Every structure is written in structure tokens, then in C-alpha cells.
Amino acid sequence: MRRGLRYGFIGLLAFIMMAVVGGSFYMLGYSLKPENNKGKDVAGSYEYLFSEYPFIKPWVDSLQTVGALRDTFLINSEGQRLHAIFAPASQPTNKTAVIVHGYTDNAIRMLMIGYLYNQDLNYNILLPDLQGQGLSEGSAIQMGWKDRLDVLQWINLANELYGGNTQMIIHGISMGAATTMMVSGEKLQPFVKCFVEDCGYTSVWDEFAQELKGQFNLPTFPLLYAASWLCQAKYGWNFKEASSLNQIKKCALPMLFIHGDADTYVPTWMVYPLFEAKSEPKELWIVPGAAHAMSYKDYPQEYTERVKNFAGKFIH
């Protein structure tokens, strides 16, 4: 009887371990290699963009007609070929915006923010495709953590493209906002002047924890721990180290925080510890009624004015 109980316990433990390991593989693939990765559908991205923001189509058409909206590439530190699009301002300027897209998005799907800077504020723009999205190589989405190192390369390239004497703002939405905050904690060139983060998460751990609870009604232990360990083994980083919160504690440059008060995907509460952790100068705009990544779509004129007023304090 005791031997049977022992074998039964060992069998149960083995089953639980197999379930956790299998679940962690599924979670990592589900999160970092999603089947519905809209960012890989480059052709369909223009259709989406013009359906959501029809007023920017004449601007995009005019850029394409004169060949001003162009492609560029770089090779990152891991040997991956990454892609970006860029366009100069209509009038010569050293003001430049690097604009970072969100999860399962791409550069094209961020051209509404490109419009804000290029058309409304007369900035040069560069919009990269992050790893595994758009035309960039990469076996998986990196949730901003590895992407921060790629964006450091992109800002150097943008500075070179636009004359080597730029004043630069970095603006990201959702995962792009997390990437922007992660970039802000690194050693930066003096031409980087300020940041805008729109609905970014505190850390990959926090974001995945709330998705695990919201979508599957599961606790963090043991699945999230196992998936984080697997991510470390497979991609070289873990969910806790990928922390926007820790990175902005090291940032001394100005940052504008934007978050919709109806955001449930990256819940609104996340912006408050981020804002609290950031040193001055900083500004916060909680957007009434805006769901995730919808602040510009819901309030395009106010969004533009707030970005203009904020950036104008540091970029002249």
C-alpha cells in the first residue's frame, strides 16, 4: 500500500511537472510567436491605416508619389536584418522623431503618429519595424527588451540620415511605449532630448500576469515562473528583468506619459507607478474614455497639441 501511494505521488508530481513545462512552452509561443501577428501583414497594414485614419491618406500618397517615404535597413548586434521607413520634413529642420510601434504591429500601422510629427509639426521621422514584425527579421517578438538595443541603433542611424545634428524625440505606443521607456534608461547620445510613452506597461512580468489572469483565470505560480525561465533559456532574457519601471528610474530626460482611463489591456493603474518613479521633468495626461492605444484616435487635435507643447519645451 505504501509503495503504491509512493508511486502514485511520484506519478502525480511527474504529471504536474509535465503540465507546467508544456504550459510554459505554450504560453511562450502564444505570447512571443502569435499566429495572428498583424505586423507581418505589410500590404494589409495600409488598408487598416486608411480605414482607421482616412485623413492621412493624402499625406501618405503624396510622400509615396515624390519618393519621400523610403525604406532603410540595418544589421543588429545579433546579425538580424531590421527594417524601417523614414521621411524628411517638408521644410528643412533638425527636429526628428523616432516612432515605435506596439505588439503585433509595424511601422506602417504607426504612420498616424508619423503624420502628427511630419505633417503637423514639421519633423523628420523614422519608424522601425521591431523584431519579428513588419519586414524585420527575428524568430519572436521581444516585448521591448531586446528591441531597446535595436532602437539605440535606429536613433543613431536617424541622426545620420538627417544631417548628424538632430534634436530627437522618441515616441512609442503600447509595447512601443514600453520599448521607449526601456531605451530611456540606457546611455543616450546628447541629441536625444525627450520621450513620449503612450500606454506602456510597467514590466513584461506585470503585463503577462494580468493577461494570464484576465484571459485564462490562472495565477502566476507556477506557469509564469516557468515561462519566464524558458524565455531566459531560449531568448536570453526573463520577464522580470524586462522592466520599464526599473529603466525609467535611470532616466533624467523629460517624458510625457499618456494613458487612457478605459484601458484594460495595459491597465491604467500601470501608469501611476511609472510616473511616480520618473524624475522631473515629466508630464501626465490621463485620457478620458480612451481604451488601449486609442488616445490619438479619440482626441487627435488635443493629442497633437499636448505633444507639440511638451516637445516644444525641449526641442527648439
Asked if residue 222 and residue 105 are part of one domain, the reply reads no
H-run or E-run covering 187:
none
Asked if residue 161 and residue 229 are part of one domain, the reply reads no
Q: What does the pLDDT look like over 22-69, one tens digit per residue?
A: 778 888 999 999 988 999 999 899 999 999 999 999 999 999 999 999
Residue 297 CA to residue 284 CA, distance in Å, equals: 18
Spatial CB neighbours of 50, under 8 Å, sequence gap ≥ 6:
56, 57, 60
Asked if residue 64 and residue 140 are part of one domain, the reply reads yes
Q: What does the pLDDT look like over 184-243, one tens digit per residue?
A: 999 999 999 999 999 999 999 999 999 999 888 889 989 999 999 999 999 999 999 999
pLDDT of residue 19: 52
> φ, ψ for residue 165 (rounded to 5)?
-140, 45
Asked if residue 171 and residue 115 are part of one domain, the reply reads yes
- Does the structure show a pLDDT above 50 at 177? yes
Torsion of CA 69, 73, 293, 193, to 10 degrees: -90
Spatial CB neighbours of 119, under 8 Å, sequence gap ≥ 6:
56, 59, 90
Asked if residue 72 and residue 213 are part of one domain, the reply reads no
Asked if residue 138 and residue 10 are part of one domain, the reply reads no
Asked if residue 250 and residue 123 are part of one domain, the reply reads yes
- Does the structure show a pLDDT above 90 at 20? no
| Cβ-based neighbour number of residue 252 at 10 Å | 11
Q: What does the pLDDT look like over 242-280, one tens digit per residue?
A: 999 999 999 999 999 999 999 999 999 999 999 999 999
Asked if residue 4 and residue 142 are part of one domain, the reply reads no
Asked if residue 269 and residue 249 are part of one domain, the reply reads yes
Asked if residue 41 and residue 15 are part of one domain, the reply reads no
| pTM (two decimals) | 0.95
Query: CATH number for the domain including 255?
Result: 3.40.50.1820
Sheet holding 124-128, edge to edge: 70-75, 81-87, 124-128, 95-100, 167-173, 192-198, 255-260, 282-287
Domain that holds residue 224: 1-32+204-240
Provide the 3-class DSSP secondary structure of residue 11.
Answer: helix
Q: pLDDT band for position 182 (50/70/90)?
A: very high
**Quick check: 3 and 203 in contact, CB under 8 A?**
no
Domains in the chain, number: 2
Asked if residue 144 and residue 55 are part of one domain, the reply reads yes
Residue 200 CA to residue 267 CA, distance in Å, equals: 9
Q: Rounded to 5, what percent of the chain is helix, strand, coil?
A: 50, 15, 35
| DSSP assignment letter at 116 | I
Smallest Cα–Cα separation from 163: which of 68, 89, 94, 114? 94
Asked if residue 216 and residue 136 are part of one domain, the reply reads no
Query: Rounded mean pLDDT of the chain?
Result: 94
Chosen domain end from 214, 240, 266: 240
